[in-house]
C-alpha cells in the first residue's frame, strides 16, 4: 500500500505544477536516468495517473529516452576527458563489441533495455564506452524502452485504480513475471555454462 501512496503523492506533486508538470516530470526522469540506479516505475505510474495511459506513456517514454541520452553523453564525455575511455577500450568485451556491426550493437541495446534485470544506468554506461554512435544508441533505446514503459505505465496506473482494473493488472503482472523469468533463466543458464 505504501507503493500506491508514493505514486499518488508523486501524481499530486506533478499535478500541482499544472502545464509545467510535463516538463517537470521529464526533467525528473532525466535525473533518475543520470543517477543510474533509481527505479522509474513510480514516476511512470504517476504520469499515467495524471495524464492518462496514453499521455502518461508518452511523457514517461520521452523522459526515459531523453534521460538515457543525457546520461550517455555525460558518461562518454566524462570518460574521454579523464582518458578513461582509452583504458576501457582495451578490455576484451569492449573490443569485441566495437568490432561488431552497427546492427548488432543496436540490437544489443534494444535487448538489454528489454531485460528487467539490468538497470538503465549500467546500459547507458556500457554503451558510452563502446563506439556505438549517439543516433544508433538513441534509436535502440527508444525501441527497447517501449515495452518497459508500457508495462510500467499500466502497472502504475492500475495499482492506483485497482478496483477498476484488477483483471488488466493481473494480466500485466503475469506478463511481466514471465519476461522476468525468461531473462532470469537465460542469465542463470549462461552463468552455469
More confident residue, 25 or 181: 25
| For range 125-143, the mean pLDDT | 93
Q: What does the DSSP assignment read for the chain?
A: -HHHHHHHHHHHHHHHTTTHHHHHHHHHHHHHHHH-SS--HHHHHHHHHHHHHHHHHHHHHHHHHHHHHHHHHHHHHHHHHTTHHHHHTTSHHHHHHHTS-HHHHHHHHHHHHH-TTS-HHHHHHHHHTS---HHHHHHHHHHHHHHHHHHHHHHHHHHHTHHHHHHHHHHHHHHHHHHHHHHHHHHHHHHH-
Q: Using one digit for the tens of pLDDT, what is the confidence trace for 56-82? A: 999 999 999 999 999 999 988 887 777
In which band, very low, low, confident or very high, does the pLDDT at 5 lie, cut at 50, 70 and 90? low
Q: What is the pLDDT of residues 69-121, one digit of tens each?
A: 999 999 888 877 776 666 666 667 777 777 888 898 898 899 888 876 678 88
Amino acid at each position: 500500500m505504501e507503493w500506491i501512496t508514493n505514486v499518488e503523492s508523486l501524481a499530486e506533486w506533478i499535478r500541482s505544477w499544472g502545464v509545467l508538470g510535463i516538463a517537470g516530470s521529464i526533467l525528473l526522469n532525466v535525473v533518475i536516468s543520470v543517477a543510474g540506479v533509481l527505479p522509474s516505475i513510480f514516476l511512470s505510474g504517476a504520469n499515467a495517473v495524471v495524464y492518462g495511459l496514453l499521455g502518461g506513456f508518452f511523457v514517461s517514454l520521452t523522459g526515459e529516452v531523453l534521460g538515457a541520452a543525457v546520461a550517455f553523453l555525460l558518461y562518454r564525455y566524462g570518460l574521454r576527458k579523464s582518458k578513461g575511455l582509452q583504458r576501457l577500450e582495451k578490455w576484451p568485451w569492449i573490443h569485441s563489441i566495437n568490432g561488431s556491426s552497427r546492427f548488432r550493437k543496436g540490437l544489443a541495446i534494444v535487448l538489454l533495455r528489454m531485460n528487467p534485470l539490468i538497470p538503465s544506468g549500467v546500459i547507458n554506461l556500457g554503451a558510452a564506452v563502446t563506439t556505438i554512435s549517439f543516433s544508433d544508441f538513441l534509436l535502440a533505446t527508444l525501441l527497447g524502452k517501449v515495452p518497459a514503459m508500457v508495462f510500467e505505465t499500466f502497472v502504475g496506473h492500475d495499482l492506483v485504480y485497482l478496483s477498476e482494473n484488477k483483471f488488466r493488472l493481473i494480466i500485466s503482472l503475469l506478463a511481466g513475471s514471465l519476461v522476468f523469468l525468461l531473462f532470469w533463466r537465460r542469465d542463470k543458464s549462461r552463468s552455469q555454462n
